[in-house]
Structures are given as C-alpha cells and as structure tokens.
Amino acid sequence: MKRYKTPVILGVAQYTQHKNTINPLDPLHLMAKTAHEALNESGSSELVDTLDSIYMINIYSWSYKDAPFELSKLLGFKPKNKIYLPDGGNTPQMLMNRASRNLAQGKANAILVTGAEAYYSFHKNKLGKLNLNWSVREEPKYMEGKMWHGTTPFENKYKLRTPSYSYALFETAIRATNGETIEEHNNFMGKLFQHYSEVASKNSNAWTKEAFSAEEIIEPNFDNRYVCYPYTKRMCSNMFIDQSSSVIITTIDIAESLNINESLWIYPMGGADLQNIFAITQRPNLYDSPALKEASKLALKQAGLTLNEINAFDLYSCFPSIVQIALNEIGISKSDSRPLTLTGGLPFFGGPWSNYSLHAIVKAVEIIRKNPMFKVFIFANGGYNTKVSIGIYGKKPSQEPWGERDDTAIQKSLLSNPLPKPIEKANGIITIEAYTIIYNKEGLPTEGIAIGKLTNGIRTLAKIYSSNKILKELEKEELVGKKFNIFYDSKKQQNIIDLK
C-alpha cells in the first residue's frame, strides 16, 4: 500500500442530549449535529466535498425509510456508498476496520462513520411524559443483512435472548473457573466497575456523572435493584440515553491536498473482526472468547506493537463478565494500572445500543491528540460474547497495510468444533456449569436459569422454580459443579431442575 492511500482520521465529534432537553433531537438530527462538528473540526470547508460514503450503525430508538440518504441531504452531499447495518455492539469498530480497508484499496475517498440513539426521549414519550415532533417512523427500505438475533430458538425458551441473563450465566461460570468465593467475586466486580464509574464521573459526555463505590455498585437496594443475580442495575448497560457520535476517515493524500493540520491526524494502526461459535449452548466453554484472543493478536501484529506498548484500553462493558473475559483473553493482568475504559463504560457513560464503541473511538482520538505518544486499544463486543472487533489507534500508520490480510482460515478454525446440539427434553441428572436468578422490579427473585451437562456429556438448559425465600438462599451457595435431578415438564415445555 502506498503511503498516500494510508487511512487517517481527520474529524470526530460526540454529543449527549441530556434529560432536561425540552425539544430533543431525533437520532437523525443528532447524527447531523455530530457529523457537522466532525467536518468542521478539520478546519477545511472542502472536506465535505470529498465525502462519498456513509457507514451508519443500526438505530434502535427510531427508524427511517433511508436514514443514510436523509443524513446526506442534511449534510449537503450525495454518497455513492451507503451502508446501514443490523444491530451489534461490535459494529462501530467493525465499520472503522472496513472503512480503513476500503480506503486503502481505493474503493472510497472519504467516509463518514456515524450513529445515534435517543431511547431516553423515545421512552419518555412512550410513558406520556414528553411530546416529540420527530418525523413519522418508517421501516428501513434496505439493510445490509437481516436483523441479527443472537440466540437459538431453544435458548430463547429459557430467556437467553435477554442480554443480562446470558451474561450473568457467563459471570457464574467465570467465578467458578477462577476458584473465587461468592464474596471475593462480588468484591472484584464492584472494584472493576468502580473504576468505570470514576472515569464516567469526569467525562462531560457521560450520562451518569456520579462516582459510585464498589459497595454502592454491588449492594442491591431501592435505587440499585437486582436485575438478575449477581447483577444489580449499576452493573448493567444503560440504554435509556440520548447520544450521538461521528468520525470522518479519509486518506493521507486527501488530508494533504486539503492542507489539514497534521496534528489532527490519527491513524487506525491495526484491527480485526472475528466471531465465536453462535449458539451459547454449543460453545466448549462459557467463560472465554477464542475469537477475542485471536483478534487481539492480529490487531497488535498489524500495528507493530506489543501489548505492553498500549497506554490505555476501552474494554466493552455491557456487563462485568465481558470485561473479565477480555482481560483474560487479551492478557491484561487484574493488577494492571492502565485505564480499562476511556469513557466510563456502558452502565455509566451510557449504552447507546449498537453505537457505544464509536464514542470510545472518538474519545481515543481526543486523548491521542493531547498525548501523541499514546496508543489506544478498543475492544467492541457484539451479541452474546459472539462478535469481536478490535481497533488500535495512534499517531503512526499501521506496520502492515490495510486490506491485504485474509483471516478466513482463522475464522473457519474458530467455528470448527462446536459441541453437539443441546438436549431439548432432558430427564436424568444435570451438573451445573452456570446459573442466574431472575428478579422482578419489586426486588423479588422469581425463577432461576441453569445450563449444564447431563451424564452423557451433552448440554441442556433448565429452569429453577421455587419460593422467593429458597431462591434467595440459593444465592449464598455455589451451584456450579453441583448435581441435580432434571425432568421435562410437558405443560411448561421446559426442563425443570428438582431442588429436592
């Protein structure tokens, strides 16, 4: 790849529309706001004329017939390439990697990567507390691929489509694998997210600017109820926010032709996109991410860096379990003093559905401009620890050119050894591998979900039904590794664990 086709970020912007906004902008106009700011940041009035592509992250809180086209009209250009993707938290970083490859291969001149959500305003309107003057909601006329549902029909019968439940299952599997007591693990989760909370408290764009102690995060109470054991609200991504972010990425030759100050240039130094086995029930382990391990190696190699040369991270943080998986797979020690988040994370900065990591990328650019020696590592997670995208950013170009590496063989290997399909109608004895207990909004436990292996070594899922008191008592003991009788209830059409 010739130097002049090296991808470079020239403009970034982000915006948080806070709770007291009288006439809140819809997602489309939030994107227009940050896109205008990103373009203006370059100092070149001609940069907009070079834009020929829009890469847009899926919008959950509203929908438009053709959001990329509507945005391009607001910005005053006509794109030859429009991408509007299905959902997935890995999407922002994946699009940045795609943009870097396409620019390096001459398939685009300048690309706007953008996304926005206004779910707080939408929800407030739904409750009758706010009147919106937004455009009529329309189904998108096109999308690259179909909406992605990250669990199987069998897993859906046990509510694994609810992200907090699936990630809580991972959490108890991690705890048992690490050999930690319940108290030790709770304390670690609290300290981990205390770090995220403290970063958010100092971030002007964060939705929640209050710093919480570890105890305030892990202890359930009226303001911080259990969602599902062992997660309180402050351990879960907060999607009730209004936020937008935009990035302008082009090539060195265009940056030079527009005389854009080189102090603004930030390079995507490395990146990778891989996936784990789709079905949670067919993954060999519930506590790891082989895709993340391999993607991290690939991105670091492309950047020409070792892990020790990274100055700061932004590790996706929808729930504590994914941060712990990331620490282990990337190779970051629990005692490492480097920042694990740039923004404050999804529970505190805000979790704008699929667009969170674009905010982390914007923040990375801002930090590197102030600290030119800094190298930042972004991990974006999609689905249920399913889709992985890595990006590394700094003031130097990538050591290995964009668009020349083929990861097909690695991806094929990652998907090559799924476990057998789970037993849907189970009778016998189950050994628990992971579990969670679901709570209602009144703070009472209502049922449990467990995943484990039968005596033949094949997995299944099961529900745990009992009184509030007994379910509460189950939280005090480690169930992973324990054996229970299991039977299929034809009326409920579910496997049930017999606690007797």
Give per-residue pLDDT as tens, 193-218: 999 999 999 999 999 999 999 999 99
Residue 2 confidence (pLDDT): 60
Residue with tokens 């929800």: 123
**127-153 residue pLDDT tens:** 999 999 999 999 999 888 777 778 999
Do residues 257 and 353 lie in contact, with contact meaning Cβ atoms separated by under 8 Å? no
pTM for the structure as a whole: 0.97
Q: Is the pLDDT of residue 102 over 90?
A: yes
**459-480 residue pLDDT tens:** 999 999 999 999 999 999 999 9
Q: Using DSSP, state whether 195 is helix, strand or coil.
A: helix
- The enclosing H or E element of 192 equals helix 182-201
Q: Is the pLDDT of residue 240 over 60?
A: yes
**Whole-number average pLDDT of the chain:** 96
Q: In what order do the strands lie in the sheet with 376-382?
A: 267-275, 387-394, 376-382, 312-315
Residue 150 confidence (pLDDT): 86
How far apart (Å, rounded) are the C-alpha atoms in residues 175 and 186? Answer: 9
Inter-CA distances, 350 with 106, 354, 384, 490, Å: 35, 11, 19, 42
Q: Is the pLDDT of residue 378 over 90?
A: yes
Which domains can be identified in the chain, with CATH numbers? 3-149+239-398+405-414 (3.40.47.10), 428-498 (2.40.50.840)
Residue 1 confidence (pLDDT): 45
Share of residues in the chain with pLDDT > 90 (%): 95
Mean pLDDT, range 245-251, rounded to an integer: 98
Share of residues in the chain with pLDDT > 70 (%): 99
Confidence band for 117, pLDDT divided at 50, 70 and 90: very high
Give 382's strand partners. 387
How far apart (Å, rounded) are the C-alpha atoms in residues 170 and 384? Answer: 10
Half-sphere exposure of 361 (CA within 13 A, CB side): 38
